[in-house]
Amino acid sequence: MNSLTYFDYAATTPLRPEAMDAMIQALRHFGNPSSRYAYGREAAQSIKAHRETIARALGCTAGEIFFTSCGTEGDNWAIRKGVELGRRRGKHIITTAVEHAAVLETCRDLERQGYEVTCLSPDRSGRIRTEQLRAALRPDTVLVSMMLVNNETGVILPVADCVRAVKAFDPAIVFHCDAVQGFLKLPDSPASTGADLITVSGHKVGGPKGVGALYIKKGTRLAPLLTGGGQEEGLRSGTEATAQIAGFAAACLSTMADNSRLERTQAIKNYTLERLKEAVPHLEILSAGDAPHICAVTLPGYPSEVLVRVLGDQGVCISSGSACHKGKPSHVFAAMGLPKAWLSGALRLSFSPDSTREEADRLVEALRQASQSIFPTMS
């Protein structure tokens, strides 16, 4: 990665070399998987193998995997078409205030179309409790959408427990889980949560951008979001992105083969947090994160956008929250009810198993220096 010191793996990850090789090969073999001649059938065979790989990574069967263009598409599809499955029972949706914009904005859009949305609020540490969800369930609830790992705090949400609570209340309620940040980052597979619909994305796991998958549990009769030529068993039309899918599967395969990845990621995160606490005056840990790869810290009162820019100018890449915020204050940290000064200086750090102590030391030193050259704008 040249001279970059990269601690923004929750925003995106570098393409794994195995993924690059698989993509180049797939680009050379340009056949359309829907074509009947051998060249097309070969492409279809490759997709079949890649679907099996993604299914293994998700903990499900190949027939439950449908390729999409990204995590955002998976979230839109699951929620927009998931609510239709309960059309006759009601128009109530439950989600959480810490979801990614792909979920929250979709729910807001449905609100404009007459749905009622209950947003569960996190506590000061970013946690949501099953009890909160249980209390929000109603006879007209049709869909629950809850993420597996929060992309800004690294907090793990109690999805498996919530699925049990929801299904005990009414098995017809559709449970969607945005597992974009939990996929291949936790010891358990996303499908083991029992959710009906699960979204994952390629570029968070060493695959390319522009590909994802939606897990549709066997028996869930989800309608397509994209209609057309009838690819993906008629559920997701559009010519399959053969190279993207090949890269996604290769990235999953090589990630799964790295058995110590979670421990190494956790160890480098722990080291970085320890060093930051020692070296950077006033720094507070906003969330140590349950998932191994994400945490958040704050320099209370400092403008995080300026800190991010100053570090960026030195080739040190971190973020002030989700990469999709584009400078707006994080809705996740705001929902946690943190003091204004803590919100202002909030920074997200995210790690890979291959992040090194040398890189961590560079980050710590850059943040220490920046905190001395920039002044807090609020107390």
Closer residue to ligand PLP, CB minimum distance, 43 or 102: 102
**Residue 355 touches ligand PLP, criterion: CB under 6 A:** no
CA 209 to chain CA mean position, Å: 13
What is the residue-wise DSSP string for 56-118? HHHTS-GGGEEEES-HHHHHHHHHHHHGGGGTTT--EEEEETTS-HHHHHHHHHHHHTT-EEE
Q: Does 231 bind ligand PLP (CB under 6 A)?
A: no
User: Does the CA dihedral 231-232-234-237 come out positive or negative?
Assistant: negative
Length of the chain: 379
Out of 92, 100, 331, 362, the residue judged to bind ligand PLP by CB under 6 A = 100
**Interface with ligand PLP, residue 147, by CB under 6 A:** yes
Note the helical H segments in 187-330. Answer: 242-257, 261-279, 304-313
**Closest CB to ligand PLP among 70 and 216?**
70
Q: Which stretch binds ligand PLP (CB under 6 A): 26-34, 80-88, 177-185, 306-314?
A: 177-185
Indicate whether 180 belongs to the interface with ligand PLP (CB under 6 A).
yes
Quick check: 183 and 159 in contact, CB under 8 A? Answer: no
Contact between 178 and ligand PLP per CB under 6 A:
yes
Minimum distance of ligand PLP from residue 96's CB (angstroms): 11
Measured distance CA(318)–CA(378) in Å, rounded: 22
Tokens of 199: 């979204």
Min dist. Cβ of residue 54 to ligand PLP (A): 14
CB of 82 to ligand PLP, least distance (A): 16
107 included as an active-site residue: no
Rounded to whole angstroms, the Cα distance separating 158 from 294 reads 17
Nearer to ligand PLP, 206 or 300 (CB): 206
The 276-315 contact track toward ligand PLP, x by CB under 6 A, reads ----------------------------------------
Site for ligand PLP in 14-73 (CB under 6 A): 70-72
d(CA 229, CA 341): 53
Task: Please state, in angstroms and as integers, the Cα–Cα distance from residue 248 to each residue in 55, 68, 102, 319, 354, following that order.
Answer: 12, 11, 20, 25, 19
151 binds ligand PLP (CB under 6 A): yes
Residue number closest to ligand PLP, CB atom: 71
Q: Which of 46, 132, 153, 181 binds ligand PLP (CB under 6 A)?
A: 181
Q: Which residues bind ligand PLP (CB under 6 A)?
A: 70-72, 75, 100, 102, 147, 151, 178, 180-181, 201, 203, 212, 322
Active-site amino acid positions? 324
